[in-house]
Amino acid sequence: MCLKKNMLLASLVSTIFIVPLQAQDVGMEKTIAPRQMADALHLVMEADRTVYTKKVVNRLTKKDKVITASEHFKDDKALPLPAQMFRFGAETAAEKIAKKADIDFSYSLQSIWPVNKQNAPKTDAEKEGLQFVADNPGKNFYTMEELAGKKYFTAVYADVAVAPVCVSCHNDHKDSPRTDFKIGDTMGGVVIRIAQ
């Protein structure tokens, strides 16, 4: 009886002290290389971006024609454009990351043919990377760079036209410097930076 009580007490103690320790350690036993992390982040971004573009915007605007997509979606009572959806996500993530001490990465959507000129490549790594993914379909670009005294692992991934809506919108936009995009073309790139 006494042994049973002691065992019960031991189990209780281990539940209180050991389980939280284990929970804290979960996921901390192996370090992920920056490149793996960037690849994984991009995989999720690309999947979500493709789903929104094809299954929401393209379906409802091009096929079903029940709603439009517009840069001024609030005023026009329309869907946000896929690029805006991506940027809103990046901005929301940036706000959350700013409050975290142990997470420091950023991502953005850029192009060497930007509709909004603020989304043209700025840094040397961005310029080189965006040109590389445009010239080498299917390949990613990885480099290290230093910005404002801080080192970053920087990865650039091609952003490809996945649906008719991508092509028609960019080819028709008055601020688009290129108007001959076709489905499957690289239209820009996703730049992911991980602080070192």
Partner 1 sequence: MVASKRHSLYFWLIWLVISIVIASYLVYAMKSIEAGQFGPATIFLPGETTSGHHQIEENCAVCHLASFGGEALLQDACTKCHAEELERIEDSHPLKKFVDPRNADTLAKLDARFCVTCHVEHRPEMTKAMGVTLPENFCFQCHEKVGENRPSHQQLDFNSCANSGCHNFHDNRALYEDFLLKHAEKPRHLPRQQVESRNLMEFFSMTALYPSTEYPFKPLSLVQADAPLAHGSDHQINSDWLASKHAQGGVNCSACHTQTNTSTNGKEWLDKPDHTQCKGCHIGETASFSSGKHGMRLAADMSLMSPSLARQPMKAESHSELVNCHSCHSDHRYDTKYAAVDACLECHDDEHSRHYLTSPHGKLWQQEVESQAAPGSGVSCATCHMPRVWHENAEEVERILVDHNQNNTLRPNTKMLRPVCMQCHGLGFSIDALADPSLIKNNFKGLPSVHVESIDMAVEADRLHRLKRLNKTSP
Applying CB under 8 A, the residues found at the interface with partner 1 are 71-72, 74-75, 90-92, 94-95, 98, 106, 108, 117-118, 122-123, 126, 147-148, 150, 152, 172, 174-175, 179, 191, 193, 195
Rounded Cα gap, residues 193 and 151, in angstroms = 10
Q: Which long-range contacts link 66-74 to residues 24+ away (Cβ below 8 Å)?
A: 69/165, 69/169
Q: Which residues pair with 159 in a beta bridge?
A: 188
Which CB, 56 or 90, lies closer to partner 1? 90
Which CB, 74 or 100, lies closer to partner 1? 74
Q: How far is the CB of 116 from partner 1 (least distance, A)?
A: 10
Q: How far is the CB of 109 from partner 1 (least distance, A)?
A: 11
Q: How far is the CB of 35 from partner 1 (least distance, A)?
A: 18
Which CB, 126 or 162, lies closer to partner 1? 126
Q: How far is the CB of 124 from partner 1 (least distance, A)?
A: 11
- Report strand pairing: 150-160 vs 141-147: antiparallel
Rounded Cα gap, residues 41 and 190, in angstroms = 11
Which CB, 4 or 96, lies closer to partner 1? 96
3 state SS of 46:
helix
As given in the structure block, the two tokens for residue 133 are 């993914």
Q: How far is the CB of 121 from partner 1 (least distance, A)?
A: 9
Rounded Cα gap, residues 154 and 106, in angstroms = 10
Q: How far is the CB of 145 from partner 1 (least distance, A)?
A: 9
Rounded Cα gap, residues 33 and 24, in angstroms = 21
Which CB, 106 or 131, lies closer to partner 1? 106
DSSP states of 157-177: EEEE--SHHHHHHHHH-TT-S
Rounded Cα gap, residues 155 and 42, in angstroms = 9
Which CB, 62 or 150, lies closer to partner 1? 150
